[in-house]
A and B are shown apart, each in its own frame.
Chain A
Amino acid sequence: MRDQTAEKALRERARKLQALHIRLLFCPITQERWLTDSDKVLHAFGLSPEVQDSIPDITTDQFKAESHGRQILVERGIEKTFPETQQCLQATPDAPTFDDFICSESFLDPKSGLPHTSGVGQGYENNSKYFFWLKQTMHLTTPDCDVDLRKNAYTEFATWLVNEYNRPHDPYYDQFEGGLYWVQTPEQNKPIILLGDQLVVYTLNDSKTIEQLPIIGLTNLDDVTPPDWPDEPTLL
């Protein structure tokens, strides 16, 4: 039986190696830094220079093929769910890039996303992680935000949520029955954008109609955030 202290130390070092290798596979920014000064990157990950031999040569075609495959899988998923948002971002000076997302803590942190429809918890898809990351990065809840970008990102994410609701799903997704709504411009009362369960977009200006939306059980997309999902224990 391995001594608990020794196991803890082993896991701690392996945790850092795992974090570095996964960053190198997914994140072009980390790859660039690694090629420029690997010792500095090792230090940033809390690793000593001698572990460098454990890390594969990232300049080989084999490494590039695996890294490209992993990045493209995530990128294609995001582009499929957020096509108009991507176009809008491309036309926006200094907008964050896909690399910024895939190198962010939000991408790595399962708690930055919604629970999966299968019921196994958070972090098993990237669409919700991307939406919440973009919302924060582009300040989409502030009155001076890019309203077009907000409209596209919210509409496309709401469409994804409704589609997830329409499949067999964990009860978490029941809140998206009937569709979702949000205010067109933050901190204004109207107009309200409503995406119905048939994926039709409505623009609502009538205050009485707007007041009815939460009463009939529709969800405000601005209120949807990663929940405090209760994870089960980990075998350690």
Chain B
Amino acid sequence: MVLRVGARWDDPAQNDRIQKAHQQGLIDYIEVNYPIPYGSNPHALGIPVLAHTSSNPTCSAEGVNLNIARRIKEAADETNSPWIGEHLSWLGTAPTGSLGYQINPLFTDEIAAITAMNVTRLRDYYNRPIALELGPIYIQSTGYESEMHFLGSVSKDADTKVILDVTHWQIGNRNLDRSLDYGLDAIDPCRIVELHIAGMRLGSDQRFWHDAHDLLPDAEVLSITSQLTEDLPALEAVTFEHSPAASEEAFFQCLRQINDLIGNRRSQVAA
């Protein structure tokens, strides 16, 4: 399988650096995080798009509302995204709205059953494959051995692809005192089509790790990523997530690192 490298697009402020990265042959696609700011148009950059969202509560007993899902479907149809990235999350207690950053669901059998139903309906609505992703984890699962086992089970039941967010995975392993390779064997490797990598930071308590898109991935995350690109048989994409507010220099530095570590496994689409 030939790999592609991409960058997360969250905001029009990233347009210049993303366009430059594409022109320099450092990225093949942008992963657009929908919904996007009103009036913005990342599709106009002329770069292939992977559709993604953190704003659908795929695990919610309330189901998934089309306020946001309809916009994602329209964008994915317009850009012919090969799959749509979705998070395993709750966003609140109502069918719409969000209380803030995605909320990890209870990892139990009944929530897994509901998630599989929600995701199957969403996939049918999109008429396009879905790739499921976990958020960063702090709390021990109560109904499964771990959140990774929950993801493995739901992706099988709903027949989805998987996005392995290497940073989220390592945050969970650190926060729950697990080995760095814990949980990978719970997921069918043939379902993992995409990796996410980003920075993480140790909290002021010096105990718990958090997602930090303003920072670069650390050496451990890059090393694991390198190994995964060799080991995962169905892997197609590696997406670098970087805050629009972080420095452009750091953005290019990391993209070069990713390209170096992937080497000739990447498709060559340089301009």
Residues of A bordering B, CB below 8 Å: 2, 7, 10-15, 17-19, 21-22, 25-26, 53-56, 60-63, 65-66, 69-70, 73-74, 107-111, 113, 117-124, 126, 167-170, 231-236
Task: Name which residue of chain A comes closest to B141, CB basis.
Answer: A56
Q: Taking the nearest CB of chain B, how far is it from the CB of A228, in angstroms?
A: 14
Chain B residues with Cβ under 8 A from A56's Cβ?
106, 139-140, 142
Chain B residues with Cβ under 8 A from A113's Cβ?
97
- Assuming the contacts A10-B113, A74-B99, A119-B35, asked whether A60 and B92 have C-beta atoms less than 8 A apart, the reply is no
Chain B residues with Cβ under 8 A from A19's Cβ?
93
Chain A residues with Cβ under 8 A from B38's Cβ?
117-119, 167-170
Chain B residues with Cβ under 8 A from A12's Cβ?
61
- A14–B110 CB distance below 8 A: yes
Q: Which listed residue (B60, B70, B176) contacts A18, Cβ 8 A? A: B60
| Complex: A21 Cα to B95 Cα, angstroms | 16
In the A-B complex, list the 6 residue pairs whose CB atoms are closest, starting with the nearest. A123-B97, A110-B97, A14-B61, A232-B66, A66-B138, A15-B61
- A54–B63 CB distance below 8 A: no
Most buried by B among A74, A122, A233: A233
- A110–B105 CB distance below 8 A: no
- Cβ < 8 Å to A, chain B residues 84-110: 90, 92-101, 103-106, 108, 110
Q: Which listed residue (B114, B125, B139) contacts A62, Cβ 8 A? A: B139
Q: Which listed residue (B64, B113, B207) contacts A61, Cβ 8 A? A: B207
B143 at the interface (CB under 8 A from A): yes
Q: Binding site of B, secondary structure by majority: helix, strand, loop or mixed? A: loop
- A235–B64 CB distance below 8 A: yes
- A65–B61 CB distance below 8 A: no
Chain B residues with Cβ under 8 A from A2's Cβ?
113, 117
- Cβ < 8 Å to A, chain B residues 59-78: 60-71
Given contacts A18-B111, A66-B139, A108-B92, 10 further A-B contacts (CB under 8 A): A10-B110, A10-B113, A54-B108, A62-B176, A65-B205, A73-B100, A108-B94, A118-B36, A118-B37, A234-B62
Most buried by A among B36, B67, B71, B94: B67
| Complex: A174 Cα to B208 Cα, angstroms | 43
| Complex: A7 Cα to B114 Cα, angstroms | 8
Task: Name which residue of chain A comes closest to B114, CB basis.
Answer: A14
Interface residues on B, range: 35 or more
| Complex: A170 Cα to B37 Cα, angstroms | 9
- A63–B94 CB distance below 8 A: no
Subset of 29 A-B contacts with CB under 8 Å: A2-B113, A10-B110, A14-B61, A18-B60, A18-B90, A22-B103, A26-B99, A54-B142, A55-B106, A56-B106, A56-B142, A62-B139, A62-B175, A62-B176, A62-B208, A63-B139, A65-B208, A69-B138, A74-B100, A108-B94, A113-B97, A118-B36, A121-B67, A122-B96, A123-B96, A126-B100, A167-B37, A234-B66, A235-B65
Chain A residues with Cβ under 8 A from B55's Cβ?
120, 124
Chain A residues with Cβ under 8 A from B37's Cβ?
117-118, 167-168
B118 at the interface (CB under 8 A from A): yes
Most buried by A among B36, B93, B114, B208: B93
- Assuming the contacts A7-B117, A120-B68, asked whether A65 and B203 have C-beta atoms less than 8 A apart, the reply is yes
- Assuming the contacts A70-B100, A108-B94, asked whether A65 and B106 have C-beta atoms less than 8 A apart, the reply is no
Chain B residues with Cβ under 8 A from A120's Cβ?
35, 55, 67-68, 71
B7 at the interface (CB under 8 A from A): no
B149 at the interface (CB under 8 A from A): no
Most buried by A among B35, B36, B63, B106: B106
Chain B residues with Cβ under 8 A from A61's Cβ?
207-208
Task: Name which residue of chain B comes closest to A55, CB basis.
Answer: B142
| Complex: A107 Cα to B39 Cα, angstroms | 28
B20 at the interface (CB under 8 A from A): no
Chain A residues with Cβ under 8 A from B103's Cβ?
22, 25, 70
- Assuming the contacts A60-B139, A65-B203, A66-B139, asked whether A18 and B61 have C-beta atoms less than 8 A apart, the reply is yes
| Complex: A120 Cα to B70 Cα, angstroms | 10
Contact with A along B155-183 (1 / 0, CB 8 A): 00000000000000000000110000000
Chain A residues with Cβ under 8 A from B68's Cβ?
120
- B95–A17 CB distance below 8 A: no
B121 at the interface (CB under 8 A from A): yes
Most buried by A among B101, B103, B143: B103
- Assuming the contacts A17-B106, A61-B207, A69-B210, asked whether A233 and B35 have C-beta atoms less than 8 A apart, the reply is no
| Complex: A126 Cα to B116 Cα, angstroms | 30
| Complex: A133 Cα to B98 Cα, angstroms | 17
- Cβ < 8 Å to A, chain B residues 191-238: 203, 205, 207-208, 210
